[in-house]
Amino acid sequence: MGKNTVQVTFADIMGTCEGKEDIDCSNKGLTSLSGCPEKVGNFNCSGNQLTTLEGAPKKVKGDFNCSGNLLTLLEGAPEEVRGHFDCSNNRLVSLAGSPVFVMGDFSCAGNQLTSLKGETNDAHLAGCPEIVEGDFNCSGNKLTTLDGAPVMLGGDFDCSGNQLAKLDGAPKKIHGDFDCSNNQLTSLGGSPHCIMGDFVCNGNLLTSLKGGTREVGGNFNCSDNKLTTLKGANKKINGFFNCSANQLTTLKGAPEEVNAFICSKNQLSSLKWAPEKVRGDFDCSGNQLISLEGAPKKVKGNFNCSGNQLSELDGTVKKVGGDFICENNTKVFDEEQVRLVCNVKGNCIF
C-alpha cells in the first residue's frame, strides 16, 4: 500500500496571522493554504507543494507569488491583486482562475500552457487577465496561439520560447518590449500595430518581414532566421537593427535610418541598399564582400568589415567616428591604407 500524503496547511506552519500584513510562507512544504487571512499585504507561498490555491487570501494589496509549486489551475487565486502576480514554474495547463485585473506584472512563464484562454464558462475563471498594468510574461510554455492574451497591457510582452507559428491574438499596442523569439514563426502577421520598445523576433523560421509591426520605438532584432530579403522592414528604426545570421544576399528593403546596423554572418556580396544614416555601429563582418561600395558614407560608431573577401578598401564609407575593423580579409591591410581612404577617429584594427 502506498503512503498517504501528509497534509501540511498554512495554519499548521504559520499559526494565526493578522490580516493586511506581509506574509512569507515560501519553502515550508505546504500542501494547503487553509487558514490564510482574507486580506494581506504581500503574500509569498512559492516553493511549496501546493496543488490548489483554495484558501488563499481574497485581496492582496501587494504582490502575490505562488511560483514553483505543483499547480495545474489557478482556481482559488485572489480576486484582487494590486501588485505583481507570479505563478511561474508550476504545471499550469490553464489560466482559469486568474484575476481579471492585475495592477503590476503577471508571469505565467515556465508552465505547460497551450492556450491563454480559460476552459470554463464561469466568468471568474475565464483565463488570462484582461488588463495587466505591468509586464506580461508567458514564455517557456507550449503555446501555439496568443488568443486570449490581455486586451490592455502597460509594459513588456514576452511570449518567447513557445511553439507559435503566428502572432494572431497579440495585443495591438505594446507600451514596452515585445519578445516573440525562439518560436516557430514563419510570418510576422498578427504582430502588434505599435511597439514602443524593442521588437525581438530572432530564432524563428522567418523568410520575410512583411506583415510586421508598423511602428517600433526601440531596437529591432530579426537575427537567426531564414530571411532572404529585408522587404517589409520599417524605414526608420530608433534603436539598432540586427539581421545577422540569416540567408541574405542583398540588403534591399533595409531601413533607411538606424542607430546601429548589424548584417553580419549572411551571404552578402554587396552593401548596396545599406542604410544611409547610421548613428552608431555598422557591422557587415562574416559575409562575401569584395567591395565596400554601398556602405554608409558616415558611421558615427565602429565600422566592422572583418571576415570578408576584401582586397581593397575603396568604397563609399568616408568617415568613421569609432574604430575601423578589417581583420581576416583576402588582403591584410595596414593603418596607412585604412586612413588613406577613410577618416577614422578611433583605432584601425587589422
208, 189 contact by CB (below 8 A): no
Query: Alpha-carbon distance 271 to 118, whole Å?
Result: 50
Report in angstroms the alpha-carbon separations of 120 from 43, 94, 102, 115, 126: 27, 10, 20, 13, 6
Q: Which band of pLDDT confidence, cut at 50, 70 and 90, is reported for residue 173?
A: very high
pLDDT on residue 327: 96
Average pLDDT over residues 96-104: 92
Average pLDDT over residues 152-157: 96
What are 44's strand-pairing partners? 24, 65
Average pLDDT over all residues of the chain: 93
pLDDT at 121 over 60: no
Write out the three cell numbers for 47.
Answer: 516553493
Nearest Cα to Cα of residue 246 among 269, 263, 271? 263
332, 312 contact by CB (below 8 A): no
Dihedral pair phi/psi, residue 117, rounded to 5°: -85, 155
Q: Which amino acid is at 150?
A: P
Average pLDDT over residues 286-313: 96
Dihedral pair phi/psi, residue 312, rounded to 5°: -150, 160
Q: Which band of pLDDT confidence, cut at 50, 70 and 90, is reported for residue 6?
A: confident
Write out the three cell numbers for 337.
Answer: 591604407
Query: Alpha-carbon distance 348 to 350, whole Å?
Result: 6
Dihedral pair phi/psi, residue 5, rounded to 5°: -70, 130
Q: Which band of pLDDT confidence, cut at 50, 70 and 90, is reported for residue 2?
A: very low
Query: Alpha-carbon distance 201 to 216, whole Å?
Result: 13
pLDDT on residue 80: 87
pLDDT on residue 26: 96
pLDDT tens track for 214-266: 899 999 999 999 999 999 999 999 999 999 999 999 999 999 999 999 999 99
Look at 349 and 119; give whichever has higher pLDDT. 349
Look at 116 and 20; give whichever has higher pLDDT. 116
Nearest Cα to Cα of residue 144 among 126, 125, 178, 169? 169
Average pLDDT over residues 168-194: 96
**3-class DSSP state for residue 282?**
strand
What is the full DSSP assignment across 21-43? S-EE-TTS--SB-TT--SEESSE
Look at 18 and 313; give whichever has higher pLDDT. 313
Write out the three cell numbers for 49.
Answer: 507543494
292, 299 contact by CB (below 8 A): no
**3-class DSSP state for residue 11?**
helix
Nearest Cα to Cα of residue 243 among 197, 212, 209? 209
Largest CA-CA distance found in the chain, in angstroms, rounded: 86
